[in-house]
Amino acid sequence: MTPLAEAARVTRRFAHLVAVDDVDLHVAPREVVGLLGANGAGKTTLIRIMLGLLPPTDGSVRLFGRSPSRETRRRIGYVPQGLGLYDDLTPDENLAFARSVFGGEAGTLPATIRPYAGTLVGRLSLGVQRRVAFAQALAHRPDLLVLDEPTSGVDPLARARLWETIREAADAGAGALVTTHHMEEAEECDRLVVMADGRVVAEGTVAQIVGDTRVAVVHTDAWARAFEALEARGMSAALVGRTLRVPGVDPAEVARALGDVPAEVGEAGATLEERFLQLTLGERGGAAA
């Protein structure tokens, strides 16, 4: 099956800064691909390259089997971080403008934004603006959705509805490339690509990326003392209920760091978020980040 979008060994340099470094990525029909990474990992730069908005320094990009062009972009629904809406137009006017550019049949606004049809976008809440941006991106029934942090600043219910929309588009045959900082959203994706320092450091399903990674788990009633002891040794710990979880450190080393703090130290399977932190910190941060 020909990918809807494909980046092959793409690199992008800005003077001495390598923002994207030898990256391969593809999105197939009916597939939701999550692009994960900390701020500055190169996600947005890669997306702009794949859309044809920014040329790669090295490597190549194909959209629907061809080089990016005005015609290929007509088949894409794009929601940038800045949403791409005109603040001095209403939702109805924004969608009418999008239809005039991309094509598509005129239709009624989705029920969730219909009450705001006549209000200028600049006066709407961020959550409603994101719903409008989604409706605009989907108005011409694109074959590929490219969504850069689409649910940032949106409440949990609205976030769930937006993800329902993404899945419905994929089930209808479209592909989707989505960047997100929310690990629970990442688990909605069919496949994940994790970036750090401009490079892909992991790729696969959630189960494949987490694999058999383990974390040290500290059980103690003196969790505040335990936290301070671990912090003093440069170990990053997260409080989960009444236990401390310490990724990337051997349990025996954690036990030594606790000293005379009364505690039981074991281990458990890592979560996606813990594995993500390990991958993105890598050799630069390790357990001391």
Q: How far apart are CA 140 and CA 150, in angstroms?
A: 18
Q: Of the candidates 120, 61, 142, 187, which has an alpha carbon nearest to the alpha carbon of residue 128?
A: 120
Q: Rounded to whole angstroms, what are the CA distances from 199 to 46, 133, 214, 225?
A: 10, 29, 24, 38
Q: What is the dihedral of CA 21, 5, 180, 49, to 10 degrees?
A: 50
- Model pTM score: 0.83
What residue spans define the domains of the chain? 5-209, 214-269
Question: 74: buried, middle or exposed (CB in 10 Å: 19+, 13-18, 0-12)?
Answer: middle
**Architecture of the domain made up of 214-269:** 2-Layer Sandwich (3.30)
pLDDT digits (tens, 9 = 90+) for 105-127: 655 677 778 888 888 988 888 87
CATH class of 5-209: alpha beta
Cα–Cα distance, 217 to 151 (Å, whole number): 32
pLDDT of 241-252, one tens digit each?
A: 888 998 888 899
Average pLDDT over every residue of 90-103? 82
- Mean pLDDT, the chain, integer: 86
- The reply to whether domains 5-209 and 214-269 share a CATH topology is no
> Could you tell me the two tokens for 263?
């505690």
